């Protein structure tokens, strides 16, 4: 058996909608019928006040940096155990990144460490809901209020996930989703900016459309449009939106399927956790499970390397991530060496197992049997 790590899922309607964009609506640039359908989907289903499709989650994070008016020398607190974009979006505006460590029981940001990282230059806290599992947002929003800071939720992995029943991405000032082909819902490359503080809605539209007030013009609110602010071409073409809409329509079925796979892994591997041989994902009771990924935590780097090799010999592609950002060559050249023990530990020990919509139950059984052979 050969089992890849990821296989992008198609609902079957993607090409039909692409054709509609091209031949029926004859509008392929941004902000047409399908873009509006996507925005409505998110605003109706999750109660988000304002959403804007972007060409990636990275772009949505960059938009948040512009909206927060991040200036050279401003400090932004970011977890080290995350993808590059979480920090990069703010570095591009000249921010100094202050890295936070992971929790002991979960790779997400250690909420209790945030306060000690705040200085009078701190402007924002960016949290990542790793594996779709919510950070403790009450704690984080409380700190932000106390010190008058922005909160951005990098919810790239956290579509259709919840914190105490509230949709993730809708709690901080801004939230961002990713529709990269490795995420639960995908359109190749794509993202979403969620604007939760209405104060920023109008400016977000302008930044989205290359610094122009075109959106207002099309709504008939102004009689001409022009260059009014900074911005970029953050809006995706209708082709991306049409593809994505085909996936959004199937969101419930996709999520149910992924949850079944997640629990199949969890139940099959529980025995290894009971015998204290590996750790399985921990989900605090305030967080929902959106089945973004399934990982195990090995005991050390050498054991994980051996397990990857063992699985590969049996045709199974399992992968690890992230190299903690505080140890990256880009960051350490600028700021020197730093140690964040929990982020480094997760970087050495997390192993992600194949996870995609069409992964069959017998494949999960095969994979988990091999892992049990390795440990038992």
Ligand X SMILES: *Cc1c(COP(=O)(O)O)cnc(C)c1O
Catalytic residue ranges: 183
Q: By CB under 6 A, is residue 57 in contact with ligand X? A: yes
In angstroms, give the least distance from the CB of 302 to ligand X. Answer: 27
Q: How many CB atoms lie within 10 A of CB 320?
A: 18
Q: By CB under 6 A, is residue 6 in contact with ligand X? A: no
Which residue, 127 or 359, is less far from ligand X as judged by CB? 127
Q: How many CB atoms lie within 10 A of CB 303?
A: 17
In angstroms, give the least distance from the CB of 369 to ligand X. Answer: 29
Which residue, 157 or 161, is less far from ligand X as judged by CB? 157
User: How far, in Å, CA of 57 to CA of 76, rounded?
Assistant: 18
User: 208 and 227 in contact (C-beta within 8 Å)?
Assistant: no
In angstroms, give the least distance from the CB of 331 to ligand X. Answer: 16
User: 202 and 209 in contact (C-beta within 8 Å)?
Assistant: no
Which residue, 63 or 371, is less far from ligand X as judged by CB? 63
Question: Burial code of 229-253, b = ≥16 C-beta within 10 A, e = fewer?
Answer: eebbebbbbbbbbbbbbbbbebbee
Q: By CB under 6 A, is residue 357 in contact with ligand X? A: no
Q: How many CB atoms lie within 10 A of CB 274?
A: 9
Which residue, 134 or 277, is less far from ligand X as judged by CB? 134
Which residue, 291 or 371, is less far from ligand X as judged by CB? 291
Q: By CB under 6 A, is residue 82 in contact with ligand X? A: yes
In angstroms, give the least distance from the CB of 183 to ligand X. Answer: 6
User: 98 and 77 in contact (C-beta within 8 Å)?
Assistant: yes
In angstroms, give the least distance from the CB of 182 to ligand X. Answer: 7
Which residue, 11 or 184, is less far from ligand X as judged by CB? 184
Q: By CB under 6 A, is residue 31 in contact with ligand X? A: no
User: 180 and 190 in contact (C-beta within 8 Å)?
Assistant: yes
Among the listed residues 191, 231, 281, 354, the single contact to ligand X using CB under 6 A: 191
Strand partners, 176: 154, 193
Q: Which range binds ligand X by CB under 6 A, 40-48, 153-161, 203-211, 245-253? A: 153-161
User: How far, in Å, CA of 127 to CA of 153, rounded?
Assistant: 5
Looking at 30-184, which runs of residues are DSSP E strands?
50-54, 75-79, 96-100, 122-128, 150-154, 162-163, 166-167, 174-178
Q: By CB under 6 A, is residue 106 in contact with ligand X? A: no
Helices (H) and strands (E) in the chain, counts: 13, 11
Q: Which range binds ligand X by CB under 6 A, 6-14, 28-36, 82-90, 102-110? A: 82-90
Q: Which range binds ligand X by CB under 6 A, 34-42, 81-89, 252-260, 345-353? A: 81-89
Q: By CB under 6 A, is residue 193 in contact with ligand X? A: no
Number of residues that bind ligand X (CB under 6 A): 14
Which residues sit at the interface with ligand X, rule CB under 6 A?
Answer: 56-58, 82-83, 85-86, 128, 154, 156-157, 178, 180, 191
């Amino acid at each position: 058996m050969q089992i890849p790590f990821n296989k992008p899922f198609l609902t079957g309607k993607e090409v039909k909608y692409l054709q509609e964009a091209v031949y029926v609506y004859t509008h392929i640039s941004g902000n047409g019928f399908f873009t509006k359908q996507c925005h409505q989907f998110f605003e109706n289903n999750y109660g988000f006040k304002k959403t804007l499709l972007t060409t990636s989650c990275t772009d949505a994070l960059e938009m948040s940096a512009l909206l927060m008016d991040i200036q050279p020398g401003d400090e932004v607190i970011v977890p080290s155990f995350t993808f590059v974009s979480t920090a990069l979006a703010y570095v591009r505006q000249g921010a100094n990144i202050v890295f936070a460590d992971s929790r002991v029981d979960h790779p997400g940001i250690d909420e209790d460490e945030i306060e000690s990282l705040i200085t009078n230059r701190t402007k924002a806290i960016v949290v990542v809901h790793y594996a779709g599992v919510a950070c403790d947002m009450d704690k984080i929003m409380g700190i932000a209020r106390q010190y008058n800071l922005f909160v951005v939720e990098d919810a790239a992995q956290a579509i259709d996930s919840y914190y105490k029943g509230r949709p993730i991405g809708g709690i901080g000032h801004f939230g961002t989703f990713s529709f990269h082909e490795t995420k639960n819902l995908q359109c190749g490359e794509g993202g979403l900016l969620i604007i939760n503080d209405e104060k920023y809605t109008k400016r977000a539209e302008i930044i989205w459309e290359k610094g122009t007030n075109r959106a207002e013009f099309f709504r008939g609110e102004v009689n001409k449009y022009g260059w009014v602010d900074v911005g970029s071409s953050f809006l995706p073409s209708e082709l991306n939106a049409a593809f994505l809409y085909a996936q959004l329509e199937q969101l419930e079925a996709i999520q149910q399927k992924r949850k079944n796979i997640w629990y199949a892994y969890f139940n099959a591997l529980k025995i290894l956790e009971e015998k204290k041989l590996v750790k399985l994902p921990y989900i605090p009771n305030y967080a929902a499970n959106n089945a973004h990924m399934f990982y195990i935590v090995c005991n050390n780097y050498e054991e994980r390397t051996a397990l990857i090799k063992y699985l590969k010999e049996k045709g199974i592609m399992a992968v690890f991530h992230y190299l903690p950002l505080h140890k990256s060559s880009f960051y350490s050249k600028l700021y020197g060496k730093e140690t964040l023990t929990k982020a480094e530990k997760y970087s050495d020990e997390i192993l992600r197992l194949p996870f995609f919509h069409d992964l069959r139950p017998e494949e999960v059984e095969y994979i988990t049997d091999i892992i049990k052979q390795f440990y038992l």
